[in-house]
Amino acid sequence: MSSLLTLNRFFVSQKAKLIELTNEYTILDEEGNAAGAIRQEGQSKARKLLRAFTSVDQFLTHHLSVYDATGTKILALTRPAKIMKSKVLIADGAGAPVGSIEQQNVIGKIRFGFLGSQGEAIGGVNAENWRAWNFSITDAAGTEIGRITKKWSGIGKEMFTTADNYMVEIDADVTGPLRLLALAAAAGVDTALKQDARGLG
């Protein structure tokens, strides 16, 4: 098993760019060591220009991959073009379907459902305060098994102050597809909603 899948607390930081043409994130462990990366892939030069000079991001399909510190691909995320609700399809490093993260509502505090590869409900992510980047991660019974938050009690807690940087916590006993979807949620929620300028509250 990849060491990235054994981390119960880690930090996700998006690399700052003057113009965001390619989404890229660094994953750090609690000591600040590089534990992995999340990179957007499969963009042509024409598409990068389209992103630079238009606001059509939500209408484009996005592909991201999660790699551990050794460069091994752990997860693949695909967010199809959206009109209202977002869906992020999740596969493992070998391309086998794991499930999906699907937006449940468009008004109020945003909720996402975790669906397994057969469409079964296995958990979700619920926004507690979108602008403050506080999300609870739950299992199928609604029990909290993790969090995505701006509260970082380890490295650089005073330095990281934007919504592009956040901490993910996952309970140690969470395994299987639920852990993979919880890991994917760190990039999946950001990719699903970040370019959407509707001012979610």
What CATH number has the domain bearing residue 120? 2.40.160
3-state secondary structure of 93: coil
3-state secondary structure of 101: strand
Of all residues in the chain, what percent carry a pLDDT higher than 70?
70
Query: How many angstroms separate the CA atoms of 3 and 22, rounded?
Result: 26
User: Residue 160: what pLDDT?
Assistant: 47
Residue 198 counted as domain residue? no
Domain that holds residue 32: 3-193
Residue 138 counted as domain residue? yes
Q: What is the pLDDT of residues 81-97, one digit of tens each?
A: 766 678 899 999 999 99
Residue 157 Cα to chain centre, angstroms: 20
Q: What is the pLDDT of residues 34-50, one digit of tens each?
A: 999 988 877 544 444 44
Residue 103 counted as domain residue? yes
Please, what is the average pLDDT of the chain?
78
Residue 84 counted as domain residue? yes
Strands 87-92 and 97-103, by their bridges, are antiparallel
Under 8 Å between Cβ of 68 and 36: yes
Residue 200 counted as domain residue? no
**Amino acid at position 118, single letter:** Q
Answer whether 0.85 is exceeded by the pTM.
no
Nearest to 61 by CA among 82, 90, 44: 82
Q: How many distinct structural domains can be found in the chain? A: 1
Residue 51 pLDDT > 50, yes or no? no
Structure tokens given for 93:
């490093």
Residue 201 counted as domain residue? no
User: Residue 132: what pLDDT?
Assistant: 60
Residue 78 counted as domain residue? yes
What are the phi and psi torsion angles at 40 (to 5°)?
-80, 135
In this prediction, residue 153 has a pLDDT band, given cuts at 50, 70 and 90, of low
DSSP 103-147: E--SSSS-EEEEEETTS-EEEEEEEEEGGGTEEEEEETTS-EEEE
Residue 199 counted as domain residue? no
**Lowest mean per-residue pLDDT among 13-22, 113-122, 133-142:** 13-22
